[in-house]
């Protein structure tokens, strides 16, 4: 039965019998194979699910688990998170990457507590909070609040595209709409949270991107891609365009046993984290001039010694970044004074608790010749 059509594949909703078969098989499989994850032991708690789902955005489950446990211990509820300082929140996020997620969580917690509210239970209310998109809202609403809400992430998109043989590029908006329509129509009348979690587990352990384990899949008898004999060809995604390369000069400035640290402004990449003085350069703004400008900007007088230490490259989602690193040693009594909350001299021991990105921790190791390849 066709309910909508576009220039690409039409959205054909599965007939009721097929939906029933899918639900029944998915639930039966989940009963035996459900993963034991720390946030699942608190599945009725909005706050616990919210933290887990935000951490799981762009990060693997195994990586998230220790961070989640530590974060929940330090900030056991929305009030504790709202009361924390920016630095404390970032410190407890350190190493997980995509720091904007922590900044948004903190903003949302402060907003909720100021309004005397707690984590809301509907998709619409959740979407109004910073850092929550349709997938996260659907996951929290269904798992913590038992709402009839779909949640389509990369894993679930892969299962659906194979199950229903969606051959269009799944990154296109019309394909995304189609996947969401299919996900909604598969939802059972009750236990939607379990159903969504079962699909998440199936995508993570059985319907794998490169080697789908169709022989172990509860959907094998209903799956069109398996029937066609080539599930690995799906989902189709347009080739990603090459990302721009961005180059920086970084001055790891050392005086006695302390480093000069600057805090990034709010918004943008690594918002609110601490780093070594650095400046972008390009074909027009050449590297030697950039290092000189950096030295002048931070008043690093008395002819500092700058030693080239090599280049660290980091691939982020939308860019490839290169950091040409210099260790700049200045004599005692020189250099700028610590200034408010944005410029500080920090001892080697103090760096351990300062919120910094993983890239700048590597840069420190590079400057001190302790980097491990």
Nearest Cα neighbor of 207 from 222, 194, 195, 220 is: 220
Residues 136-175, one symbol each (x = binds ligand SF4 by CB under 6 A, - = not), give: -----------------------x--xx------------
Strand, coil or helix: 97 = coil
Could you tell me if 94 and 100 are in contact, meaning their C-beta atoms sit under 8 angstroms apart? no
- Using CB under 6 A, pick the residue from 84, 132, 207, 346 that binds ligand SF4: 207
For 257, half-sphere exposure in the C-beta direction (CA atoms, 13 angstrom radius) is 5
Smallest gap, in angstroms, from Cβ of residue 154 to ligand SF4?
Answer: 14
Q: Which is nearer to ligand SF4, 48 or 225 (CB)?
A: 225
Q: Which is nearer to ligand SF4, 212 or 304 (CB)?
A: 212
Question: What is the distance between the alpha carbons of residues 186 and 197, in angstroms, rounded to a whole number?
Answer: 13
- Using CB under 6 A, pick the residue from 55, 102, 217, 294 that binds ligand SF4: 217
DSSP secondary structure letter of residue 236:
B
- Catalytic residue, from 45, 53, 69, 224: name it: 53
Read off the tokens for 102.
């922590």
Smallest gap, in angstroms, from Cβ of residue 209 to ligand SF4?
Answer: 10
Could you tell me if 69 and 40 are in contact, meaning their C-beta atoms sit under 8 angstroms apart? no
Phi, psi of 12 (to 5 degrees): -105, 120
- CB-based contacts of 122: which residues, under 8 Å, 6+ apart? 141, 145, 147
Read off the tokens for 163.
């199950």
- Using CB under 6 A, pick the residue from 120, 138, 212, 235 that binds ligand SF4: 212
Residues 222-251, one symbol each (x = binds ligand SF4 by CB under 6 A, - = not), give: -x-xx----x--------------------
Could you tell me if 342 and 266 are in contact, meaning their C-beta atoms sit under 8 angstroms apart? no
Q: Which is nearer to ligand SF4, 46 or 212 (CB)?
A: 212
Q: Which is nearer to ligand SF4, 64 or 217 (CB)?
A: 217
125 is catalytic: no
List residues with catalytic annotation: 53
Residues at the contact surface with ligand SF4, assessed by CB under 6 A: 159, 162-163, 206-207, 212-214, 217, 219-220, 223, 225-226, 231
């Amino acid at each position: 039965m066709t309910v909508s059509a576009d220039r690409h594949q039409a959205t054909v909703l599965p007939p009721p019998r097929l939906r029933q078969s899918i639900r029944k098989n998915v639930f039966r499989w989940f009963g035996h194979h459900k993963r034991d994850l720390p946030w699942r032991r608190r599945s009725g708690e909005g706050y616990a699910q919210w933290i887990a789902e935000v951490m799981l955005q762009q990060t693997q489950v195994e990586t998230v688990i220790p961070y989640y446990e530590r974060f929940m211990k330090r900030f056991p509820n929305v009030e504790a998170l709202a009361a924390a300082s920016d630095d404390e929140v970032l410190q407890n996020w350190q190493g997980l990457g995509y720091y904007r997620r922590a900044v948004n969580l903190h903003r949302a917690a402060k907003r909720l507590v100021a309004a005397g509210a707690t984590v809301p239970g509907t998709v619409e209310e959740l979407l109004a909070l910073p850092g929550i998109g349709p997938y996260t809202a659907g996951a929290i609403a269904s798992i913590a609040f038992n709402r009839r809400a779909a949640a389509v992430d990369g894993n679930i998109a892969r299962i659906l595209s194979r199950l229903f043989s969606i051959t269009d590029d799944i990154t296109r908006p019309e394909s995304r709409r189609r996947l969401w329509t299919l996900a909604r129509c598969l939802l059972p009348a009750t236990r939607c949270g379990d159903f969504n979690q079962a699909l998440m587990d199936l995508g993570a352990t059985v319907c794998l991107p490169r080697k789908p384990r169709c022989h172990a899949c509860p959907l094998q008898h209903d799956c069109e891609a398996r029937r066609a004999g080539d599930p690995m060809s799906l989902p189709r995604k347009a080739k990603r365009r090459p990302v721009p390369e961005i180059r920086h000069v970084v001055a790891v400035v050392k005086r006695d046993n302390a480093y000069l640290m600057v805090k990034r402004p709010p918004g943008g990449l690594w918002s609110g984290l601490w780093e070594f003085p650095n400046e972008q350069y390009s074909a027009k703004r050449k590297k030697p001039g950039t290092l000189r400008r950096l030295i002048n900007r931070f008043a690093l007088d008395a002819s500092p010694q700058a030693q080239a230490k090599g280049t660290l490259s980091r691939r982020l989602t939308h860019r490839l970044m290169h950091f040409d690193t210099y260790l700049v040693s200045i004599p005692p009594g020189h250099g700028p004074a610590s200034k408010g909350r944005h410029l500080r001299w920090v001892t080697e021991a103090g760096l351990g608790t300062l919120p910094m990105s993983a890239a700048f921790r590597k840069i420190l190791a590079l400057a001190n010749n302790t980097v491990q390849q």
